[in-house]
Amino acid sequence: MYDWRIYIILFLVLEFIMLCFSNRLLNKAVVLPEFTDHLNILETFIVSAAVYILLDIGWLALTYVDFFDSWILMQVLLAALFICIVVMPYFWLSFVSELLDVRPFSSHWFKFFCKVLLFIMIILILTNWDTGLIFTLNENLGYTLKDMGNHLVMGMSAFFWLITLIEGGFKLVRSTTVIGKRLASMVIIFVMPILIALLAFYQNHISIYFPIALNFSLIMYLLTFVNLTYDIDILTKLYNRRSLIQLEKKIEKHLSRGGSLGIYCLDIDKFKLLNDQYGHKEGDRALAIVGQALLQLTHKRKLFAIRMGGDEFILLVFEQWGESFANNFALEIQQSIDNEVNKEELPYRIEVSVGSVMIHKPMEEPMLYYLEEADKRMYQVKQAKNVER
């Protein structure tokens, strides 16, 4: 039989490799200026390593250290550990409910129900030990709850994770957009290993599976996050300009088969004034609302919605029937935006100017040429409305 220290060393080595891998993925996934500096990359690695080490010390202490001389400390550590095991999935469930917006899990009554369960479990954890209130009032009840404590805590944790998994499954089945399905996949991939770890705890009472599962889940989450952020704009949930490289191949194939294409360039009117008057946070909100409005159009028509940058968007529509359709579709875009503005009850109206180019045969010029042409026509519409870009 091997010494348990060998298993600890192997686990720490494996964890270090996973940490290096996940940190590398994180810096690739988060495309922000501050992550381009090597010093900041090293700083994120050190912070991550510190968190891992603290978690490891806690688990090793609770698993292998003899607490005969510090019994109270052991009770405090156990209580803190079990509270984290319950609170973490609760907050993850809250995050997923906001992210996926699946009924009835995003309703107020369900959120209130989860808060009540969380409060009850924390009270049970804090009064579950030999020094707790329940032991003072009723010693027999205290010992009964102590025996049930681990299973109650793990059961509640499993409940929150299971609801999160169900939400992801509902979203995956119901969503009609690529973005919705990707978000649902991220949630499912993150939760599955943790549920497996909890099942292993119930079957074999091997608590070390839990942190291993969390680390594995982190890797899987970041892998899917890289895939999500590669060609998706996080603010608006639309495709970003990098996705045009892949879409260009689909466009060429579509046109070679006799199809037609409409390229619509749209820009928010007086967006700078909106930022100056209401602030950049409200400007971001306006961009997100336009993104949501364009996503609604993807449910009705075969099109791709892209945020090119700033307040400029591109729609690639794979169904065209002439100039009259283009004019009507421009009105349809504005109507979709108005509907989203009314839902949010904004104190202002978001208006856009739209320019379009129709292609009815294989492209004779690079894609950039047609995008610039649509942009010029959009700017002409702006000038006709006498508004700033």
The 10s digit of each residue's pLDDT in 146-169 is 556 666 777 777 888 888 888 888
Residues 86, 221 share a domain:
yes
Residue 29 — very low, low, confident or very high, per pLDDT cuts 50/70/90?
A: very low
Cα separation of 265 and 367, whole Å?
13
Range of lowest pLDDT (26-30, 79-83, 231-235)? 26-30
Is pTM, for the whole model, over 0.75? no
Question: Given the structure tokens 């405090």, which residue do they identify?
Answer: 76
DSSP characters over 226-244: HHHHHSB-TTT-SEEGGGH
Reported residue count of the chain is 389
E strand or H helix at 354: strand 352-359
Among 29-38, 197-206, 305-314, 345-354, name the one with the lowest average pLDDT.
29-38
Is residue 334's pLDDT more than 70? yes
As for how many domains the chain has, the answer is 2
Of 204, 230, 256, the position where a domain reaches its end is 230
pLDDT given for residue 227 in this prediction:
58
pLDDT of 32 higher than 50: no
Residue 292 and residue 157 in one domain: no
Per the CB < 8 A criterion, the answer to whether 165 and 181 are in contact is no
Confidence at 290, pLDDT banded by 50, 70, 90:
very high
* Shared-domain flag, residues 113 and 212: yes
Distances (CA, A) of 59 to 219, 234, 369: 20, 36, 60
370 and 248, same domain (yes or no): yes
Mean residue pLDDT of the chain comes to: 73
Write down the pLDDT at residue 105: 75
pLDDT of residue 18: 64
Q: Is the pLDDT of residue 326 over 70?
A: yes
**Domain presence at residue 93:** yes
Same domain, 257 and 374: yes
Q: Among 104-108, 202-206, 235-239, where is mean pLDDT lowest?
A: 202-206
Which pLDDT score is estimated for 132? 46
Give the model's pLDDT for residue 36. 40
The angle subtended at Cα 89 by Cα 88 and Cα 94, nearest 5°, is 100
Task: Name the H helices within 101-207.
Answer: 108-126, 133-137, 139-174, 178-204
- Lowest mean pLDDT: which of 57-71, 99-113, 151-165, 250-264? 57-71
With respect to residue 316, please indicate whether it lies within any of the assigned structural domains.
yes
Strands 303-309 and 239-240, how do they pair? parallel
My answer on whether omega of the bond before 104 falls inside 30° of 0, hence cis, is yes
pLDDT confidence of 304, banded at 50, 70, 90? confident
pLDDT at 121 (0 to 100): 76
Q: Note the pLDDT of residue 265.
A: 92
72 occurs within a structural domain: yes
Query: Which range marks the domain in which residue 82 is found?
Result: 66-230
**Higher model confidence: residue 178 or residue 237?**
237
Question: For position 81, what pLDDT does the model report?
Answer: 64
CATH classification of the domain holding 297: 3.30.70.270
Pair (270, 202) in one structural domain: no
Sequence-distant contacts of 28-31: CB under 8 A, at least 24 apart? 28/226, 29/222, 29/225, 29/226, 29/229, 30/229, 31/229
Confirm whether 359 is domain-assigned.
Answer: yes
